[in-house]
Structure 1
């Protein structure tokens, strides 16, 4: 009898302890909560063109800076194309020089033809020249003018050929540059999808990066709570893996359409079933400070205020690792 009484008293103490603890951490009426998980923006570093991967330098779990070399494609064919395109540029430039020299020669011939015609006109005026000589000088002038136009057209053609050759050099050089795959932003290598020596198609992903400056938690809230949120409002996140810490966040997105909608919405209870997606962003400077601790997929509970003037309870005050 006394054992049973002691046992019942122990159970009562435990229940009172649980009640006191739940009352201590009771959620205020103006604060809503929802489960979620930590996510980060994924960036695919992919090959621009098909070919063989010469070298993959990044390793899974490695943090890389923006512009760091991730991988290199085999560019031997492109190097050969580039050498050929550069040779075409040199040939076109030589052709331009020859066309300019020919144009200079035709200019000189045209000047001489004008002078010869002027002399012939003077002699004909004084009675010392013949009509045949005058016609010959006019014909020579016409030939010189035609030759100059042809030389000018040849120079234009040579310029166009040089421009085309330079454009081809620029195109191939761009492909050679694209053969070196770099990180578009700072992040952590999540997956290494290709090994050195493998042949990949155009657009094939080589590695997956996690953008450590864009980490967030996505939660779903009923319409009553989501409708009262303000973009930029404070939020709190408590992770299952670190329940002793309270991580600050900011409401950065509230969906305009419900994610879960019943077939018919006729009563207030059914309207409460409308769930809206909410995104809680963690500040980049905070992420940089605790970068080594940032992991995606970690689940937890997020808290948001449905009344902007509401105060956070003591147990939801920001608390971070030292």
Structure 2
């Protein structure tokens, strides 16, 4: 389609020049915009979809929701598994804490025995108590110290076992946490977010339909600035450059034009229609190059509208 229209334009330009028809513009073409096709990123029923043709949408606006119930349940199940792992680690730490409390109680008992020993020493020195009581309390202290040594060994053993157990638990926890992140990413993709500020050109889906991954939902374009795609001959190439301002005009009525200031954004580096043989200067006019001219839209310009360009207008 594009090739035939370009060919037709080139032939018309050559035909018009050969027949002496007056052309009062340098190039002509149609307005277009950068169109974005917004597609579904998940499979599921469209629970909501508030997009209509002609709507002006802002970038980041939420315009629909795909049913993500299954993914949400999977996420909750995985989070429950993580919670159960945390309970296992808490149980292991609680076991260590119980033994530590036991050691603390033994230390308190040992401190009391030392105070009692000091009191008895004073009594024995004053011949107010028999020596056997002091020997008995020394035996109790020695026995308690041995018990505390065993308790410390139990703490070390429990701590070592807990560390090993926790490493095993944490090795299970990390993949589960990644799974939660993946499920959340899928859930987020169920929300249809508009990617650019612009006007909805076409809607392809309705609320209640099944959305399929990659299936187009709607097409949107930023119409604040449109691009006039026009075609020039090889002889006109030396007259223009990117960034150059030109005059763009559209029909206002039968005899008047509405004019705009445009800027050349792009010039094709190769011809889009080339004859098989080029022998004369006139035949070189059949070389057609595409250019794109950006024009600020005041609301009158529409996609597909015909426009003309004057390079010498500026």
Question: Does 1:280 pair with 2:300?
Answer: no
Q: Is the 8 A contact 2:96 2:155 kept in 1?
A: no
Secondary structure class of the residue paired with 1:232:
coil
C-alpha deviation, 1:63, in angstroms:
0.4
Counterpart of 1:152 in structure 2 is: 163
Q: What is the RMSD of the two structures over their aligned residues, measured on CA atoms? A: 3.2
Q: Is the 8 A contact 1:92 1:165 kept in 2?
A: no
Q: Distance in 2 between matches of 1:207 and 1:251?
A: 30
> What CA distance in whole angstroms lies between the structure 2 residues aligned with 1:268 and 1:96?
87
The one of the two structures with greater contact order (alpha-carbon pairs below 8 A, sep at least 6) is 2
Q: Judging changes above 3 Å, is the alpha-carbon distance between structure 1 residues 270 and 174 closer, same or farther for their aligned structure 2 residues?
A: same
Q: Is the 1:37–1:217 Cα contact (8 Å) retained in structure 2?
A: yes
The aligned counterpart of 1:47 is 40
Query: Alpha-carbon deviation of 1:26?
Result: 8.0
Deviations 1:112-162 (A, max 9, x none): xxxxxxxxxxxxxxxxxxxxxxxxx9xxx8x99887555323212222322
Describe the superposition over 1:208-248 as per-residue Cα deviations: whole angstroms up to 9, x where unpaired: 11112442110111112124321110022112356531011
Unaligned runs of 5+ in 2: 1-21, 102-148
| 3-state SS, counterpart of residue 26 of structure 2 | strand
For structure 1, the 5+ residue unaligned runs are 1-24, 109-136, 306-310, 313-322
Q: Secondary structure at the match of 2:183?
A: helix
Aligned to 2:220: 209
Task: Tell me which of 247, 264, 274 is aligned to 1:251.
Answer: 264
Matches for 1:99-248 after TM superposition, within 5 Å: 99-101=92-94, 150-240=161-251, 243-248=256-261
Distance of 2:59 and 2:201 partners within structure 1: 15
Contact 2:42 2:66 (C-alpha < 8 Å) held by counterparts: no
User: Bigger shift: 48-57 or 97-106?
Assistant: 97-106
Q: Which whole-Å CA distance do the structure 1 matches of 2:236 and 2:280 have between them?
A: 17
Shift in Å, 1:167: 1.6
Alignment equivalent of 1:98, drawn from 91, 98, 101: 91
Q: How far apart in 1 are the matches of 2:172 and 2:98? A: 22
Find the counterpart in structure 2 of residue 295 from structure 1: 302
Instruction: Using the TM superposition, give the Cα deviation of residue 205 of structure 1 relative to its aligned residue in structure 2, in angstroms.
Output: 1.0
Equivalent pair of 1:54/1:74 in contact (CA under 8 Å): yes
Distance 1:156 1:227 in 2: 72
Task: Report the secondary structure of 2:258's partner residue.
Answer: strand
After TM superposition, give the deviation of residue 184 of structure 1 in Å: 0.9
TM superposition shift of 1:259: 0.8
SS in 2 for 1:194: coil
CA deviations on 1:234-288 (whole Å, 9 max, x unpaired) are 02211235653101110000111111111133433333221111000124xxx3x
Is the 2:264–2:292 contact (alpha carbons within 8 Å) kept by the matching residues of 1? Answer: yes
Query: Shift of residue 106 of structure 1?
Result: 9.9
Counterpart Cα distance in 2 of 1:205 and 1:170? 26
2:283 counterpart (248, 251, 270): 270
- Rounded Cα–Cα distance in structure 2 between residues aligned with 1:304 and 1:89: 68
